Chains A and B, each alone.
Chain A
Amino acid sequence: MSEALDLTLREQAAAIAAGEVDPGELLESTLARIEARNPAINAIVETFPERSREMLAQAPAGPLHGVPVVVKDEWPLPWRAQRFGAADMLATPEPGESGPYRALRDAGAVIVGVGNMHELGAGSTGNVSVYGPAGNPWNPERCPGGSSSGPAAAVAARLVAGAVGADGVGSIRYPAAYCGLTGLKPTFGRAAMEGHHMAGVSTTIVSGPLCADAADARLLGSALYGEELRQGDANGLRIGVIRNEVSEDVAPAVREACEAAIEDLRRETGGKIREIELPELPAATLATVLIANSESLGAVTPERLNRLDPGLSPLGRGLLKYRLLLPAVATVKSHQVRTIARRTLAAVFADVDVIAWPTVPAVAPPLEAPLVELPSGTLTADQANVRGGALANLTGIPAISVPVGTSEGLPVGLQLQAAWGRDDLLLNAAEALERANGRRWVEAVPPLAENEPTEA
């Protein structure tokens, strides 16, 4: 059964549909692998074998029939309330049928566990969580990225072939880059969002797939979208590149890998590279952070802040209280920056099909001290990562992170962003890039997943 565990998501689905793999055996083997590998990375914070077996017993003949998947601790399940990676999330979570749960259930998938996440979704590293930090399968002492830390680490460690994350300010793409995965942030509003404690309030958060490659992201994404993300080509792709801190203030090895990948993509698609300008980008980054943080203030009262659960990290407590001090005028201006940025992007996408830049400017930093060395100096990973991740959340456009190399034995990710509703084009472009590099990076396996101690 070890071979089935290492198949892609679509291969597992096809093998089950063809009767070549027994889904019951696959489920038990998956649970055994989680038991064997997860302690090294703390990617999965809870399994519920009986619930998973029930889900399988009732699974319809959908496109993911019998395929084990993981969901982030941001989504309620009928038998488990989300904790948002935190001892106190201000809201009172309750079990329920979230949109991603329904989408997975209706597609026939089997949820085998809940993935760890950065506390309150408030970090790009995954090193702070009520469950303890998650580790990166490429090096468990390095950050897996956040806030969808556990789903990414679980897929990279080949515990499962697909996982559902959430992305409010880059939270699918950062861990995809750190863990060497393909992570899709859908166009705002396209993927299942019901049941999220910020649904109807947040204008930045979306659910999305984390998988090894684009074809798997297409399959899992189609379930979350409730519609097929059709395969096509990216011929003649017009690739926009930018010359500012997002592309320039980047670790040299990351920059080199991303520039090579952009050229590979151009060559493979017979496309063109065009330099673009986004003068609003720095303001847009701050605007995203301010909007995302202010949208969660509805549950905040001074009295509530004075009785935060002591289990919340000092970082989480301090940041929650600091949100109260953000000036309203800055949030108002942030919405105006959003308007400007959306108009600028609409004009840019008349000239280019995708915008490409490094997903994150440096490879995964140490869990103990998540700092990154950039040409401009030392920054916290959060400060550095948000520069490239925020724009898509602010404006609603889709974005994808694809693996394009390694540095220091750790993955490098390239981000592609497209116009609203062109999620399919991002997947087509990602597949073109996979062809261009011989699928070298999507098939790369981290050390943790190379040796199998035991199998069921």
Chain B
Amino acid sequence: MEASHNADEFIPAALAAYGVEADEIELAVMRVAHETFWPPILELLELDTSAVAPEPAPDLSQAPPSR
């Protein structure tokens, strides 16, 4: 099945699943957000990161430890 970012289907269905209401303006905002974010999210999901050695509890104030 091909990935879709059809906001008109996805957003109302997802909101209904959570029991969250939204008016027309909010839906319009979410549609724009979805069209902006979803394609790169799908690209991100294509990224296989299973080979990335984890950085346990990264200390963001420091460089990562050399491996």
**B1 beta carbon closer than 8 Å to chain A:** no
Residues of chain B within 8 A (CB-CB) of A317 are 22, 25-26, 29
Q: Is the CB of B33 within 8 A of A318?
A: yes
Q: Check if A314 sits within 8 Å of B49, measured CB to CB.
A: no
Q: What is the CA–CA distance of A253 and B45 in the complex, to the nearest angstrom?
A: 36
A333 within 8 A of B: yes
- In the bound complex, how far is the Cα of B33 from the Cα of A286, in angstroms? 13
Query: Which one of B11, B18, B45, B59 has the greatest number of beta carbons of chain A within 10 Å?
Result: B18
Known: A318-B29, A339-B55. A333 touches B61 (CB 8 A): no
Contacting residues, chain A, for B25 (C-beta < 8 A): 314, 317-318
CA distance A80 to B55 in the complex (A): 39
Q: Are B22 and A342 in contact (CB under 8 A)?
A: no
- A48-B18 Cα distance, complex, nearest whole Å: 43
Q: Are A336 and B20 in contact (CB under 8 A)?
A: no
Task: Determine the chain B residues whose CB is within 8 A of the CB of A190 once the complex forms.
Answer: 61
Which of B45, B53, B62 gathers most chain A CB within 10 Å? B62
In the bound assembly, the distance between CA atoms of A106 and B37 in angstroms comes to 43
Tell whether, in the assembled complex, residue A419 and residue B47 are in contact, meaning their CB atoms are under 8 Å apart: no
Q: Specify which chain B residues have a CB less than 8 angstroms from the CB of A188 in the assembled complex.
A: 60-61
Residue of A nearest to B52 (CB): A336
Q: Are the CB atoms of B40 and A286 closer together than 8 Å?
A: yes
**Which one of A22-30, A324-332, A404-412, A431-439 contacts B?**
A324-332
A231 at interface, CB cutoff 8 A = no
Q: Which of under 10, 10 to 19, 20 to 34, or 35 or more describes the interface residues of A?
A: 35 or more
Contact check, B54 vs A339: say whether CB atoms are below 8 A apart.
yes
A302–B18 touching, CB < 8 Å: yes
A11–B62 Cα distance when bound, in Å, is 34
Which residues in B have their C-beta under 8 angstroms from that of A321?
15, 20, 22, 26, 30
- A285-307 interface mask toward B, CB cutoff 8 Å, 1 = contact, 0 = none? 01101100000000000100110
Instruction: Report the nearest A residue to B46, measured CB to CB.
Output: A333
Per-position 1/0 for B1-33, Cβ under 8 A of A: 000000000110011001111100111111001
B residues near A302, Cβ cutoff 8 Å: 18-20
Chain A, residues 347-387, CB within 8 Å of chain B (1/0): the string is 00100000000000000000000000000000000010000
A40 at the interface (CB under 8 A from B): no
Instruction: Report whether B61 and A421 are in contact in the complex, using a CB–CB cutoff of 8 Å.
Output: yes
Min distance, Cβ A91 to any Cβ of chain B, angstroms:
19
- The answer to whether A319 and B29 have CB atoms under 8 Å apart is yes
**In the complex, the 10 A-B pairs of residues with the closest C-beta atoms, listed nearest first:** A318-B29, A396-B60, A336-B49, A189-B61, A188-B60, A318-B26, A314-B25, A322-B30, A339-B55, A322-B33
